[in-house]
Chains A and B, each alone.
Chain A
Amino acid sequence: MLSRATTKKRIFHVGVVISNKEGARDPEGETVLRDLVHRSGFADVKGIRAGKYLRVDVEAPSEAAAEGLVRKMCDDLRIYNPAAHSIVVEAGRLPE
């Protein structure tokens, strides 16, 4: 039982952010920047990219393993389209 406890799995929250690659125009981000942010005087904001966020709850032995599994899932199932999107996979941080 003791050895089992040392390899005990727990749930990790892994965030996946999917957004358009730099070369692919992002009209939503452009509109937020132009028509909301710049119009309201936040001139120092130089760019906004909109994206899609998925929170994936994974049972894994470690944070690194959880991230690895989610990365594999994203690649295998084409959760993003590599022709047009890039993704960020990061464990641990939850939206407030």
Chain B
Amino acid sequence: MRVGVVRFPGSNCDLDTVATLMGIRGLSPKLVWHESDELGKFDAVVLPGGFSFGDYLRAGSIAARSPALSAIRRMADEGKPVLGVCNGFQILVEAGLLPGALLRNLSLRFVCQWVSVRVESRRTPFTALAREGQVLRMPIAHGEGRYYASDEQLRDLERSHRVVFRYSDGSGRVVDEANPTGTLGNIAGISNGQGNVVGLMPHPERCCDPALSPWGSTDGRLIFESLLGGDR
């Protein structure tokens, strides 16, 4: 499977993502500049983390108007898997491919820590190999990750099971103490209606190699290996 990893000016998780995907048999990643017109030939796309366009105006808001997003919109319509990680999630939200907004953390701080995240839905190409309720250990690193949506949007998300990940404690209980940013409903990731577009704040690419985790966590692999199939 050919996976495009989009690099914007200010992306900084792009090479980590490519390196991680190269380590998964069956995935063939390639770095793609955001102004390139070659995205259409890929089977899936990842928007990596970073600070695209310096987070100017609002994280993700300028990248959301980049040429890459026209191609990504088409890929999303065609049902191809689209994943946004951290700044990539912010870009998908600002482009309107996912609903809501990602606001500054309630603490006003850039939060950089390992968290536990519970898988709420396996009906996406990025969670097909997970068990519902499975707890993954992943790191977060962001200043604007407090998910916000109107009451109506939130009801719609919950009703249609489009909340994909929630911050939880280690045993999977979704409690306030496990909420690192004040995000609504402990939401860490959501999908579009079809399920093929997913955004999440935690960084799966940073927990695929045991050397990168204090716990030897390779939980992030599940997200990328799911791309290769599962019983969706």
| Contact size range, B | 20 to 34
Task: Check: A27 CB closer than 8 A to any chain B CB.
Answer: yes
Residues on B with beta carbons closer than 8 Å to the beta carbon of A77: 65
Are B101's CB and A28's CB within 8 A?
Answer: no
Smallest Cβ distance from A95 to chain B, in angstroms?
18
| Contact size range, A | 10 to 19
Q: Which of A15-40 contact B (CB under 8 A)?
A: 20, 23-25, 27-28, 31
Given A83-B101, A84-B101: A23 and B96 interface contact (C-beta under 8 Å): no
Are A25's CB and B182's CB within 8 A?
Answer: yes
Residues on A with beta carbons closer than 8 Å to the beta carbon of B101: 24, 81, 83-85
Are A78's CB and B148's CB within 8 A?
Answer: no
Residues on A with beta carbons closer than 8 Å to the beta carbon of B148: 24, 83-84
Smallest Cβ distance from A33 to chain B, in angstroms?
14
Given A28-B108, A78-B94, A83-B149: A20 and B61 interface contact (C-beta under 8 Å): no
Residues on B with beta carbons closer than 8 Å to the beta carbon of A85: 101
Residues on B with beta carbons closer than 8 Å to the beta carbon of A52: 57-58
Task: Check: A79 CB closer than 8 A to any chain B CB.
Answer: yes
Q: Which of A42-96 contact B (CB under 8 A)?
A: 52, 77-79, 81, 83-85
Are B104's CB and A83's CB within 8 A?
Answer: no
Digit string of B173-195 for contact with A (CB within 8 Å is 1, else 0)? 00000000010000000000000
Residues on A with beta carbons closer than 8 Å to the beta carbon of B171: none
Are A27's CB and B99's CB within 8 A?
Answer: no
Are A31's CB and B108's CB within 8 A?
Answer: yes
Whole-angstrom CA separation of A66 from B107 in the bound complex: 38
Task: Check: B45 CB closer than 8 A to any chain A CB.
Answer: no
Residues on A with beta carbons closer than 8 Å to the beta carbon of B103: 20, 24-25, 84
Besides the known contacts A27-B104, A83-B99, A83-B100, 10 further A-B residue pairs in the complex with CB atoms under 8 A apart: A20-B103, A24-B148, A27-B107, A28-B108, A78-B96, A79-B61, A81-B58, A81-B93, A83-B149, A84-B148
